[in-house]
Structure 1
């Protein structure tokens, strides 16, 4: 048995080295991995403030949100139809696909006034803007005069021959006492810009006596839009199934918690459960800037935003406690099941070899993560070249849009602990205990886990299900061979490496340093646990001698 483990470790070294070399190669060949922007968040905010000050707005005392955003559907259309290179050669500089969205709003929390600007992250130019207008403004202009103002606004954006058309607004949609808003649109003709069937439409709004909005949107073909909406619905259904089956696993864990007569790992489960709650809350509250922007987009006033934010925080805390409680139960039951399947799957904290085991699990975790990275790279190389898999640029989880961007890689620890204890420690062990077959025991939890990743912007939408079902089987066997500590470390390292890539390749000195620290954090944790246990062992040995 010892010889078998040594042989596996030897092959693991080879797989790890090959995997990290493949990952580095794929990263080097991927232009999006090394893509950086000339204008950072602070510069975008400064340019937005300068724009509004030039327009006569007093910006002193205004709060702000600065988020990276973009035309996701247009990005997807270009990727699906292999038009990215053509788009790059015919770049419409007035309407970048990716932009900084800067919103200024009153610090007092009174009213729903806000002033929004889109900043080109490569040139720093203002490419779109909108503002609220004082509702007490008298004598609004209408008709030809309003149309003239709209055309002047577009001419200032570089469209000298633009002819805008009025957009009819149903009277029933207008609110009482609301200043009349006249909206005009302009579709850039194909003679000026054409990439596939993609179109660019500008909206210009005139409120009262001034232009209150100049914005643009990319229009994708109706066929693509219908297909995309159907893919999103399928993704929602698959994610719902994952939540349902994961809840079923939790119920099973709770029932078997009282049916299995083994010693329960109370303190280990409690510690990991509390850590899960803390990481869950931190990860979700770190997305508050995006939530604030959504409230502003919905026209919520200061009171509405404050109430909505409080409600979100309350919901995160409650949901975090539920996730932590579920993790606690899953670890308790999974820990007891390991004693009936294979005690080596989880080495108890009080075991005599615990410190050496944790240290070894940490190093194996790095090697496994390297191997998995290479395996994932091969999967997507085959998927893209052979099966037409493609991606959309999704900014919902961008570090740039987080409260504290440098805390983003901590999510790797949440995923590593919560997912591995749910789908491997309990899921694989449970099915291995009662169905015996290792392949089935690894496959069923892997499929549930894979379904939960269906809303990632990888298309067709079933791609991630196939990828992670296969990948989950590999992780399941790694768990059966090396135990839960190893796969937790491996999952953490795997996610951390991918999360710190933007810091390492596109960041400044501080971000690069933080990225390196996150890469080394599993080593710090592994050795800290090793040293704590070593001290306990020394104390235990001293007591025994007395």
Structure 2
């Protein structure tokens, strides 16, 4: 039976992390009156689909439609409001009628081949806007369209006299007739409410609410996204070079490398990733252009599966080369199943992992709060990564293991050794791969983007120290525990008891896996002899 001994230093760090986490949340609570909390959906996707189908049926006399629901967000609008501290003002004036986050329902008539996109308020099922994806052969006169537009504005509960027609931008030129109107009162900073209405030769086929954003903000946002893209490509480039270096070292050390090491972890990685790609089908639809939705979704799915296979190959190279390189200098930072102390290492690695994860989560919360208060950091919702855009949200936390296995293998097991050889310094060997790893996380919609680079680099430094001090298994568990806690808690917001229970299960999953592996290993290999030292040297 494995005996557990609590590392007092790690327990102290965990307590510090808990205090930091709770303390920062208390500070957030004190600011609650100023903040505008995001609302979670209070209607189901089926209710949204029914509301959209009923609207299209009543308005266009179309029945027997097929529907598909995705979650969407007005990301640019949300960013402007947060950057200019206008979120509270927006919520008071427009939040209920034109929410930032909403459901988008594709309503298709399979007989007449008509396709509508309907935006639904996901807290009350109210129609926000709609548009038909259609090629209009003939258009209505602008005079007649203007009369119909003002009547529609009145039906929407707005005052037509408060809106003036504005010129259609050249970039918006399409078939049919499109009119734009701008509200003269209640602007938000430099943003003004605008309405876009599209017409065929008989009626309105599109009504969409737009908030004009200042060109200066859009230019700033484009520059931020460009910087994030550059950092991501730089990270990918260095990661590719690391994979090439892994191939070279595998060839050099081929007689000493056990090529079976890493195969199981690679299979686990690819399997979970492909399951996630299938699960992300609604997200791919949300990202696809309406005109070629089906084709774009299929291409995105195939592309992601191809990327998954390439990432799997890169992971295997990192595991094989990384382990071989450490063993070539006499360090066993990743014990194998056949070693007597494997079960003990997994069990204690899990315990260390939870304690370290609590510390890291506390540090991360402090970094978030510091960024918001001192550096005006803000984040927007990202439909492409939301659990609301998954076929089965309760499968999402499995990705914690994908991240933990692949990133610890690439940037710790392999990366630290490569840069240790290059610079002959443990400190530099931890810093460089941490920065490369952090750069790959800047594509998340957190602004300014450099703050994400700093935050993830700091976490990388902690994980790098953990790897050198306690080994690969502890680093993987620390990473997996941290992500499992965050991803498990993300299920709590879905509101169902089954989701809450699933979230708790995933938070406990690292412990369940470690206990099972330790038990199986002890049954197959026998217990570790008391006092028997593990054949691994400290790397620090």
What TM-score results when the alignment is normalised by the length of structure 1? 0.88
**Secondary structure at 1:55 match in 2:** helix
Match of 1:544 in 2: none
Counterparts of 1:121-132 in structure 2, within 5 Å, are: 121-132=122-133
Task: Decide which of 80, 84, 90 is 1:81's aligned counterpart.
Answer: 84
Match of 1:503 in 2: 491
Structure 2 distance, partners of 1:453, 1:170, is: 36
RMSD: 2.8
**Secondary structure at 1:209 match in 2:** coil
Match of 1:443 in 2: 431
Query: 1:388 Cα deviation (Å)?
Result: 2.3
Structure 2 distance, partners of 1:403, 1:101, is: 15
Deviation string 1:463-501 (CA, Å, 9 cap, x unpaired) is: 111122222111100111111111111111111222222
Query: 1:365 Cα deviation (Å)?
Result: 0.8
347-356 or 22-31: bigger deviation? 22-31
Query: 1:65 Cα deviation (Å)?
Result: 2.5
1:455 aligns with 2:455: no
Could you tell me whether the CA contact under 8 Å between 1:166 and 1:183 is conserved in 2? no
Structure 2 distance, partners of 1:18, 1:487, is: 19
Task: Decide which of 25, 37, 44 is 2:41's aligned counterpart.
Answer: 37
Could you tell me whether the CA contact under 8 Å between 1:327 and 1:418 is conserved in 2? yes
Match of 2:538 in 1: none
Query: 1:209 Cα deviation (Å)?
Result: 0.6
**Secondary structure at 1:60 match in 2:** coil
Task: Decide which of 16, 19, 33 is 2:17's aligned counterpart.
Answer: 19
Match of 1:222 in 2: 215
Query: 1:132 Cα deviation (Å)?
Result: 4.3
Counterparts of 1:164-179 in structure 2, within 5 Å, are: 165=165, 167-168=167-168
**Secondary structure at 1:227 match in 2:** helix
Structure 2 distance, partners of 1:239, 1:380, is: 21
Structure 2 distance, partners of 1:251, 1:106, is: 51
1:48 aligns with 2:47: no
373-382 or 77-86: bigger deviation? 77-86
**Secondary structure at 1:203 match in 2:** strand
Could you tell me whether the CA contact under 8 Å between 2:176 and 2:200 is conserved in 1? yes
Query: 1:40 Cα deviation (Å)?
Result: 3.1
Could you tell me whether the CA contact under 8 Å between 2:277 and 2:305 is conserved in 1? no
Deviation string 1:169-218 (CA, Å, 9 cap, x unpaired) is: 879966xxxxx5211111121x2x23222212110111121110010122
Structure 2 unaligned regions, length at least 5: 530-540
Match of 1:423 in 2: 411
Query: Is the alpha carbon distance of 1:41 and 1:265 closer, same or farther for their aligned partners in structure 2, counting shifts above 3 Å?
Result: farther
Could you tell me whether the CA contact under 8 Å between 1:181 and 1:208 is conserved in 2? yes
**Secondary structure at 2:94 match in 1:** coil
Structure 1 distance, partners of 2:171, 2:297, is: 33
Query: Is the alpha carbon distance of 1:126 and 1:442 closer, same or farther for their aligned partners in structure 2, counting shifts above 3 Å?
Result: same
Query: 1:344 Cα deviation (Å)?
Result: 4.0
What TM-score results when the alignment is normalised by the length of structure 2? 0.89
Query: 1:126 Cα deviation (Å)?
Result: 0.7
Structure 2 distance, partners of 1:97, 1:313, is: 27
Deviation string 1:252-276 (CA, Å, 9 cap, x unpaired) is: 0110112236742433311111122
Structure 2 distance, partners of 1:186, 1:211, is: 14
Structure 2 distance, partners of 1:291, 1:393, is: 16
Counterparts of 1:25-424 in structure 2, within 5 Å, are: 25-27=23-25, 29=28, 35-60=39-64, 62=66, 64-106=67-109, 113-132=114-133, 141-162=140-161, 163=163, 165=165, 167-168=167-168, 181-189=176-184, 191=185, 193-260=186-253, 263-295=256-288, 297-300=289-292, 305=294, 307-341=295-329, 343-424=331-412
Could you tell me whether the CA contact under 8 Å between 1:425 and 1:484 is conserved in 2? yes
**Secondary structure at 1:268 match in 2:** coil
Query: 1:387 Cα deviation (Å)?
Result: 2.3
Query: 1:454 Cα deviation (Å)?
Result: 1.3
Query: 1:404 Cα deviation (Å)?
Result: 1.9
42-51 or 371-380: bigger deviation? 42-51
Structure 1 unaligned regions, length at least 5: 175-179, 542-546
Structure 2 distance, partners of 1:34, 1:500, is: 19
**Secondary structure at 1:248 match in 2:** helix
Deviation string 1:22-54 (CA, Å, 9 cap, x unpaired) is: 324445636678843322322222221221222
Could you tell me whether the CA contact under 8 Å between 1:41 and 1:66 is conserved in 2? yes
The number of equivalent residue pairs is 519
Query: Is the alpha carbon distance of 1:101 and 1:309 closer, same or farther for their aligned partners in structure 2, counting shifts above 3 Å?
Result: closer
Query: Is the alpha carbon distance of 1:10 and 1:342 closer, same or farther for their aligned partners in structure 2, counting shifts above 3 Å?
Result: farther
Deviation string 1:227-259 (CA, Å, 9 cap, x unpaired) is: 111111111111000000000000001101122
